[in-house]
Chain A
Amino acid sequence: MTPRRPPEPVQVVKQRRDTTLQRLVAGVPYIRFLGIRFERHGDELTAVLPYADMLIGNPAIPALHGGVTAAFLEVAAIVELSWVMIWEDMEAGGTTPAATETAAAPLRRLPKTIDFNIDYLRSGLPRDAYARARVNRSGRRYASVHVEAWQDNRARLFAQATGHFLMPLRED
């Protein structure tokens, strides 16, 4: 058993996690293009898609484009899966150089989508949308992720999806 470390100061922990998340998200042009950002509470991530006119697919209703919904859910799933993947490495080292490096380096390899299945439950309204993903299974090669999206009410989902992903090869 390794000797117990004294608890880290809260701002050190927060900075490490926020920096890692930032690196994960900011490096992907398409996430920026859609305007998606992530809110973090501990290890729980919520994807936020702020409303923008260019996200509309049916100007008559108006409703969010089905493709935007699909993309938003897929982004939420990939970021959650990557986040779960790097969490332990990030947390293991505390403030050691290895952990700092994990936090500082852009994530080099992202999981690749094998397939993605979207259920459209009701039309997306012209307002902000939120999504939360859950990794149901994550092995060395494959992962299965479920993701739910809502707008005004957490219990009234407007879309949900399940995707399978190919995990990046790990060096160890």
Chain B
Amino acid sequence: MTDAPQVPLDPRLIASGQDDRRQADRRLRAAGQFIAMIPHAAALSMTLTEVGEGEATITMPYDDRLVGDPETGVIHGGAVSALMDTCCGAAVMVHPAAGMGTATIDLRIDYMRPATPGQTITARATCYHVTRSVAFVRAVALDDDTARPVASATGAFTVERPAASRPATGTAT
């Protein structure tokens, strides 16, 4: 298991603590605006709450329209999938070695337990490895009981960047 990004940090990102915070704020704002512009993310009221290098956290509030089982009021697995996919994609987009665009190649979701009705679902995704063309991501979905995840996901995503900016060494596999 490697949680740290596999790519050497851009020296410009290694600065004083204040610069780090400013950089992080800028990144959160830019990524947040990008997520807000996705029509389906907006339809599900998704909000990007945290970003790091190759990491993203997105929340999705409970909504009666997303219920999959009317008997219990539990949110449909499909809505959780949409949250996971968005969060994984966001983690790729904020990775220093990937560009601001990505597409899902594959995504596997394990549903561990039903989300508790009425509670916001929070997804956290980590882009744990990036090659020239592929970003590998894993994510977890939580409700208020953070000790017991609702679902987990692993996926592969495309890495899109201009050919000229491809590094000669480091990220290629």
Partner of A30, one of B40, B65, B86, B107: B65
Asked whether, in the complex, the Cβ of A55 is within 8 Å of the Cβ of B40, the reply is yes
B103 on the A face (CB < 8 A): yes
B54 on the A face (CB < 8 A): no
A125 on the B face (CB < 8 A): no
Asked whether, in the complex, the Cβ of B38 is within 8 Å of the Cβ of A30, the reply is no
**Residues on A facing B (Cβ under 8 Å):** 27-30, 32-34, 53-60, 63, 65-68, 70-72, 74-75, 106, 108-110, 112-120, 123
Chain A binder among B5-13, B22-30, B73-81, B128-136 = B73-81
Beyond contacts A63-B103, A74-B81, A108-B71: 9 other A-B pairs, Cβ-Cβ < 8 A, are A28-B68, A54-B39, A67-B82, A70-B109, A71-B82, A112-B111, A118-B81, A120-B103, A120-B105
Number of A-B contacts (CB under 8 A): 127
What band does the interface of chain B fall in when counting residues whose beta carbon is under 8 Å from A? 35 or more
**Cα–Cα distance between A85 and B109 once the two chains are bound (Å):** 24
**Cα–Cα distance between A68 and B86 once the two chains are bound (Å):** 10
Closest 9 CB pairs of A and B: A67-B82, A71-B78, A30-B76, A65-B40, A70-B81, A67-B85, A66-B104, A54-B43, A117-B108
A70 to chain B: which residues have CB within 8 Å? 78, 81-82, 85, 107, 109
B48 to chain A: which residues have CB within 8 Å? none
Asked whether, in the complex, the Cβ of B104 is within 8 Å of the Cβ of A120, the reply is yes
**Cα–Cα distance between A28 and B105 once the two chains are bound (Å):** 29
Asked whether, in the complex, the Cβ of B85 is within 8 Å of the Cβ of A65, the reply is yes
B144 on the A face (CB < 8 A): no
